[in-house]
Structure 1
Amino acid sequence: MKKNFLLFVLLVLAGRMSAEEFEVDRFTYKVLTDNTVEVSSYNSGALLDIEIPSSVTNNGTKYSVTSIGDYAFSGCGSLTSITVPNSIVSIGNGTFNYCNGLTFFSLPESVTSIAGNAFAGCSKLASFELDGTNTEFSVVDGVLFNKEKDILLIYPAGKGTGYTIPEGTVEIGEFAFSESAMLTDIEFAGTLVKIGDAAFSKCAGLTEVNLPVSLISIGDKAFNGCKGIVSVSISKAVSSIGKSAFINCSQLMAVTVDPENMDYSSLNGVLYDKQQTTLLLYPKGKGDNYDIPVSVNAIGDYAFYGTNLTSVTFSKSIVSIGAYAFADCSDLSELNLPEDLEIIGDDAFEYCTGLEKLVLPDKVRIIGKYAFMSCQSLKEVTISENAEEVGRNAFWGCKKLESIVIPDKVTMIGDAAFGSCRGLIEVTLGVKVDTIGSMAFSSCSDLMVVNSRNPEPPVCAAEDIFDGNESVMTLHIPEDSDEQYKDALVWKNFKEIIADLEKPAPDSMVGLETRASLIVDSSKNGCVVLISNKEQTVCVYDVNGKMVRSQMLGKGMNELALADGIYIIKGDSDSLKVIVR
């Protein structure tokens, strides 16, 4: 199988050095250019004090050491000091993460770039120092700033329990205070305008956050995991709040917004947009049940992420639920979704492990990727009649699900959509299912019966749709479809193929039997020839539902150049599949 072959290749590669890497004196270097390298790792389990050389020679070639790569020293807990040469220009992501023995770090004047999370989790790091005259950075009381001292870049996690951000600071950079476990008190500068992504992420000791009135922007995951924060006040100037700015704040009871704010509002401690049509954040510590106001028509990304909800009442007007909106709400046992709902976003209900039954309203068209992944108690699922596709991994790991019926308007089932549904016994595929993604029903060890209602066998993206278990499974297909299925990839491998399903009614096949003619001319390197009976625009989608191109067709013959793969081409009224080899 492909997975085993790939694993074998990776194991072989792991045992030898890459052609672009070499080792000298325990340092592993990655070649960047003809005469420059970066440090990619240090091969010793007992680091104490080390010095990075400014140059290194390998096979007669001398290289200048110009950067320290991503995660090069990550997790080196015994490292107490490191000397960085004046040749180093950049320090990458996570380079010194969790180097808990470091107490200070001296920057040479050559360094011009440092990733914000380069020192995350360095619990004893108390100060930065500058060696020489650096043109990009400055240090104020051990804290790293940009040269102009108006952007705070990295606060050393071991510096202390309290900190006052200097006046004149306008921005706190990404990951600047991330994982500063000692930090309990922070006083913001009155000049502060922006807090970057994950700036205070996992500062579990923070108990109070008094945001300044000057603040305009709060980044994604800015206060993620700040478990001690109880309340947050948003001033009238704030115009941008990251989607997951306050997730995993387990004690957060309320978010209040200045009534004069032009972009946001709050109601009983819950954050909304100004018009209160989109619910943006339900504080994790607020309570275990909630009635969503009738004004709300959309639930934003991460809105209820990880909360302790046991029940929620939706307003009837809600049409969309955003990505991760209810993810990890493990106490949520019942869902009565609103009748006007159309879109369920990616990961919207993943890890809702208490859910046992799911009925999707008839208007739901889109079921996003990972939407109900690992809902391990889910026993019953009714997919809406108007659903058009089931996204990648949408129901992966729903191990108690015993049967599933794919409605007749669904055309595509994404990769691993029902993978690892170990209790699944029977699957019924709707009449318009014409494309099934890789591993769609893999690791469904109890699956014995598949009913495919499409007279034409759906295109399988790979031979691993059913993990190769077709030889012990029974396939039921429409009358007079034997020959098509017995010659088709994957379908021909079933132990038993029985043509005993009723032929679909003609009106249910509209869009399938009235397709434009489609020819793949392999002599022209994947040129698809599409014959159209009118002028129209067609959109081309890959097997994951991503649009890869659109093109205006003229009446008659048209050519589309496409790379090898499986595609769905949708016109004004027609929908067809094509394999380009």
Structure 2
Amino acid sequence: MTLIYLLVGIAVVHALFLLYPVYRDEALDVYLWTPWTEEKYALFRKVTGNNKQVRIRLLINWILWPFLIIFILVMPVVFLFKLQGILKEYDGEVTYSKDGKALLNVAENLRRVKVKKGVEVIASFAFDSTQVTHIKMPNTVKILEPYALLRAHYLESVNLPDSIITIGKYAFQYCGGLGKGLKRIVLPKYLHHLNENAFFGCDGLKKLKIRGDFMWKASWQNDNPFYYTKSLVEIKNTNPNFKVENGMLMSVDGKILFRCVNEGKRVAVKDGVEIIAQGAFGGRDRMEEVILPNSLRMICVYAFSGCKLIDNVVLPEGVEYIGIESFSFCPNLKTITLPTSLKTIVCGAFDHSDHLQNFVYPKGMEDEFKKMVDDAKYDLPF
């Protein structure tokens, strides 16, 4: 804007100079439109009648005329950018909506961001693939849209003010995996909606405090917000719709197990659990044995994926379903005992568990179960 004001000022001064009555009639054409010759220079001197005045005005002419040209050329461009800026406002390397209520985009190389007060929405992909390490949000922010902090690999700290009521799906996907890492998350006190896979792939996340009154969704079984948080070792909870027992985050009725952070070598799942959600045990590197309850009915996608030390799994009677890659990438897994209640093993359930050769089938149902297992060994088409 400073440049615009300067150019406007120059143009005004120039116009007044050209309208100076001493020479405006005869000299105007010479001054504006034609090259300087000795004859025209003499004419200009004759019109003005003052050598010093001529020198001063010639100097002003050569200085101001290029600026006038620049002004004429630049102003249409500036005007066009102004029109495009109706929906955007720039604050350094951060882009906000014109009304200041949404943060739209952050420059890739920006490290620290203090979000302006008044912002209510962090837009989808606002921090996508940036190098930001620290984010400070005001207590006016209400919504983190889907993918808002997607691939903010270098993120180390972010405050989530209590004003936030919605965190969109994949909002923190792959955050904090590089650098010092995002170690701790405290969910907002009044959070009402936590959507699918919100913290998917936050590898460095160690501590999670769950607050708010949001309710789990049926879609969480296969799109768990806490899936693939393999470094998570502590979960605290004040949300009335959940409970944490023995290092396990469950629905308050104890029927769905969402995440296990128990670091013991032998882990027993509490009786009453019917569903083990997506990735609930994923990446539990220290677990060597898991005891499953008779209440269990469903093992969802990636439930035990990446459990490197577990070598034997006994599925209790009552289990009916084993999801995609439930026991994938378990390099030491050698034996699985299958119950008569089992009805479905989804394709790829045992992918990349190369030492799994021993399946214990129910007596009298060996052929049927062997076919079910063989069908499930086919690689997934992606």
Provide the TM-score with structure 1 as the length reference. Answer: 0.42
Deviation at 1:137, TM superposition (A): 6.0
C-alpha contact 2:361 2:370 (8 A) present in aligned 1:
no
Q: Given the superposition, is the C-alpha separation of residues 275 and 129 from structure 1 closer, same or farther in structure 2, using an over 3 Å criterion?
A: closer
SS for the counterpart of 1:407 is helix
C-alpha contact 2:128 2:150 (8 A) present in aligned 1:
no
Kindly provide the CA deviation profile for residues 165-192 of structure 1, in whole angstroms up to 9, marking residues without a partner as x: 1222111122211222332111112210
**Alignment partners' CA distance in 2, 1:170 and 1:318:** 38
Is 2:376 the counterpart of 1:406?
A: no
Give 2:279's aligned amino acid. Answer: Y
1:569 maps to what in 2? none
C-alpha contact 1:175 1:199 (8 A) present in aligned 2:
yes
C-alpha contact 2:101 2:119 (8 A) present in aligned 1:
no
2:202 maps to what in 1? 226
Bigger CA radius of gyration: 2
SS for the counterpart of 1:303 is coil
Q: Given the superposition, is the C-alpha separation of residues 168 and 140 from structure 1 closer, same or farther in structure 2, using an over 3 Å criterion?
A: farther
Give 2:278's aligned amino acid. Answer: D
Give 1:296's aligned amino acid. Answer: V
Deviation at 1:244, TM superposition (A): 2.8
1:298 maps to what in 2? 275
**Alignment partners' CA distance in 2, 1:266 and 1:138:** 35
C-alpha contact 1:109 1:134 (8 A) present in aligned 2:
no
Q: Given the superposition, is the C-alpha separation of residues 202 and 409 from structure 1 closer, same or farther in structure 2, using an over 3 Å criterion?
A: closer
1:368 maps to what in 2? 346
C-alpha contact 1:107 1:130 (8 A) present in aligned 2:
no
**Alignment partners' CA distance in 1, 2:132 and 2:95:** 17
C-alpha contact 1:346 1:371 (8 A) present in aligned 2:
yes
C-alpha contact 2:146 2:168 (8 A) present in aligned 1:
yes
Is 2:127 the counterpart of 1:151?
A: no
Is 2:196 the counterpart of 1:196?
A: no
2:292 maps to what in 1? 314
2:256 maps to what in 1? 278
Deviation at 1:272, TM superposition (A): 0.5
**Higher relative contact order (CA closer than 8 Å, sequence separation 6+):** 2
1:254 maps to what in 2? 234
Is 2:93 the counterpart of 1:127?
A: yes
Q: Given the superposition, is the C-alpha separation of residues 362 and 187 from structure 1 closer, same or farther in structure 2, using an over 3 Å criterion?
A: same
Q: Given the superposition, is the C-alpha separation of residues 225 and 288 from structure 1 closer, same or farther in structure 2, using an over 3 Å criterion?
A: farther
SS for the counterpart of 2:135 is strand
1:180 maps to what in 2? 152
Deviation at 1:203, TM superposition (A): 2.1
Deviation at 1:158, TM superposition (A): 4.5
SS for the counterpart of 1:335 is strand
- Provide the aligned length of Structure 1 versus Structure 2: 281
Kindly provide the CA deviation profile for residues 59-82 of structure 1, in whole angstroms up to 9, marking residues without a partner as x: xxxxxxxxxxxxxxxxxxxxxxxx
C-alpha contact 1:177 1:200 (8 A) present in aligned 2:
yes
Provide the TM-score with structure 2 as the length reference. Answer: 0.62
Kindly provide the CA deviation profile for residues 267-292 of structure 1, in whole angstroms up to 9, marking residues without a partner as x: 13310111112221112x73332111
Q: Given the superposition, is the C-alpha separation of residues 137 and 254 from structure 1 closer, same or farther in structure 2, using an over 3 Å criterion?
A: closer
Deviation at 1:157, TM superposition (A): 5.4
Q: Given the superposition, is the C-alpha separation of residues 418 and 200 from structure 1 closer, same or farther in structure 2, using an over 3 Å criterion?
A: closer
Query: Mean alpha-carbon deviation: is it higher for 136-145 or for 308-317?
Result: 136-145
2:303 maps to what in 1? 325
Give 2:201's aligned amino acid. Answer: G
**Alignment partners' CA distance in 2, 1:342 and 1:386:** 18
Q: Given the superposition, is the C-alpha separation of residues 364 and 202 from structure 1 closer, same or farther in structure 2, using an over 3 Å criterion?
A: same
Between Structure 1 and Structure 2, the one with more helix by share is 2
Structure 1 residue aligned with 2:136, among 164, 179, 186? 164
**Alignment partners' CA distance in 2, 1:238 and 1:161:** 28
Give 2:276's aligned amino acid. Answer: I
C-alpha contact 1:229 1:252 (8 A) present in aligned 2:
yes
Is 2:356 the counterpart of 1:378?
A: yes
C-alpha contact 1:236 1:257 (8 A) present in aligned 2:
no
SS for the counterpart of 1:406 is helix
Deviation at 1:418, TM superposition (A): 4.1
Give 1:232's aligned amino acid. Answer: L
C-alpha contact 2:161 2:188 (8 A) present in aligned 1:
yes
**Alignment partners' CA distance in 2, 1:130 and 1:275:** 43
Between Structure 1 and Structure 2, the one with more strand by share is 1
SS for the counterpart of 2:186 is coil
Q: Given the superposition, is the C-alpha separation of residues 413 and 355 from structure 1 closer, same or farther in structure 2, using an over 3 Å criterion?
A: closer
Give 1:305's aligned amino acid. Answer: G
Give 2:316's aligned amino acid. Answer: P
2:242 maps to what in 1? 264
SS for the counterpart of 1:272 is strand
C-alpha contact 1:254 1:270 (8 A) present in aligned 2:
no
Q: Percent identity?
A: 21
Structure 1 residues 464-483: aligned runs within 5 Å: none
Deviation at 1:110, TM superposition (A): 8.9
